Every structure is written in C-alpha cells, then in structure tokens.
Amino acid sequence: MLRVFAPAKINLCLHVTGQRVDGYHLLDTVVGFANVGDWLTLTRGGAGQVYLLGPEAAQLSGENIITQTLAAFDAQDVDVHLEKNLPVASGIGGGSSDAAAAYRGIITLQGRAVEAADAAKLLAIGADVPMCAGAIPAHVQGIGEAIMPLPNLAPLHAVLVNPRQHVATPQIFRALHSKQNAALPSLPEQLHEPDTLLNWLAAQRNDLQAPAIAAAPAIADVLAAITATGAGLTRMSGSGATCFGIYETAGAARAASSQLCAQHPDWWIVPCQINDAVNVAPQAMRATT
C-alpha cells in the first residue's frame, strides 16, 4: 500500500505561441507546484477500482483519468482511493497531477524504474501529465512534452482562489483571439531570488486569461479581490478559473487568505507555498484491518 501526493500545478505565466494542424496548441509556460493538493492511496490485489473521497469528490463521476492511467501501465490489479481536495476543471492541473501521482505509485508497486516509453504514454493520457510526473518547477514548451526543469526557482508564498465556477478548457482555447503570440523571453539567471523572479513574471502574461474572463466574469472579481489584499502579483492559472496572488511572506499570504475567506465564504481559498521542494515520492503504508 502506497500513499502519493498530487500537488496543484500552477502556471506562473502562460503564452500561447501557435496551433498544430491536429488542433493542439503550442504553449510556452513556467509552472510551479504547490504544497496543497490531492492524495492517492494505491493497493495491489484489487480490480482497478477508483474510490472517490474528500471535500471535492462530489465533482467527479464515472471513469476518470486515473482509470486511464491504470490501463496504460498495466495496473488493472491496483485499486486507488483518491482524496480529492482540489476543485475539478479549475486550471491547476488536479486531474493531470492525480494521473501523474498514480503513475509514480504504479511503477513503485511494480518495482521498476522510469522507462523511455513512459513519456509517450503519459502525454497520450493528457498534455499536462508529463510535466506533473516529476512535479518540479519547469519551463514547458510544445504541447507539454518539452520540459526543462527549473530546480532553483525561488519559493513563493501564495493564495489560490477559485470562485466555484468550472471553465471548459477547449472553450477557452477556441475563444482565444490570437493563436500566434510572442514566446517567453529568456529567463533570468537569478531564479533563486524571489524579487528577480517576480519582476520577470510581472512582465509576462497568461494569454488565456482574457477569454476565460469573457466566459466566466467572476474570474475578474477574483483577480480584483486578490489584488486588494496587497498581492505583489495576481494572475490566473491555466485556463482558469483558479487565480493566485503572490506575497512577500507566509504570514501575509495567510492574512490575505483569512480576509478573502471572510469576504467570500462561497469561494475555494487556500494559502500555500509554490516551488518549495514538494515531496511527491510514494510513501509505503502499513495495511490496517
């Protein structure tokens, strides 16, 4: 029995630079991983069942991305209990991170190392799954297959906020006015310095933010509310609707979270730290009777 963490994936910036003939969009993004997320418990000797638990489990139903992962890696004898803490369809890679966590657990249970063929299987499950497999900060390009790890990316204190609105990723990409946008400029050398990283991020953008706001105007309300708490940087992650604010200290992030919770008790709000060496290694558990 293994317990595996599936951290939230945060697009600190996201530029859409083109579209392939097969419809996939080309991205240029810097991603970080937060110390909040879902938890998976994997047990051998089962029938490939996925059991849903946790505060956000009601948003899921039927076959999901974990089921696909079990099939892709010949693990139909593994049962998975998913503790769902992240909102579904919220732009922070919850499903992709769950699939990646399942993969890490599967290969551990199978007693094997990562194989070259695994990358293509993960990409076929979902474009975000390969970047979530390692769950370390990275500069990602292409449709998600070109991954350059950024292990020295400065830790950032943040608050994640979702207005409880699902946003359909395909709809947002279709609504994007321009599919040919400028790529990211060169990353600064001093990535380990928070001020340097934040100054560079502030000059970037999320090309999906405007079409997401058009589809879900509440996202604009979220961004304004976060900005009003004194965040040094406010932006939407992925295709939305989750947004984040970056703060100088963990205390400031907690204070902002408390303020936002008091003002908007119906929103999903959580303080966190991004890029802080999140431990995603599968942990052995002793079975209980």
Residues annotated as catalytic (active site), given as ranges:
9, 128
Cβ atoms of 147 and 119 within 8 Å: the answer is no
Tokens for 122, please give them: 């993960």
Q: Please, is 143 exposed, middle or buried when counting C-beta atoms within 10 Å of its C-beta (0-12, 13-18, 19+)? A: middle
Cβ atoms of 145 and 130 within 8 Å: the answer is yes
The 8-class DSSP code of residue 178 comes to -
**How far are the Cα atoms of 12, 186, 264, 267 from residue 204, in angstroms, in the given order?**
9, 11, 28, 26
Tokens for 136, please give them: 């370390």
Amino acid of residue 67: T
Amino acid of residue 21: V
Tokens for 56, please give them: 């956000």
Query: Angle 169-191-219 (CA atoms, 0-180°, nearest 5)?
Result: 30
**Residue 90: closest CA among 243, 213, 268, 241:** 241
Tokens for 216, please give them: 């879900």
When computed from its CA atoms, the radius of gyration of the chain, rounded to whole angstroms, is 18
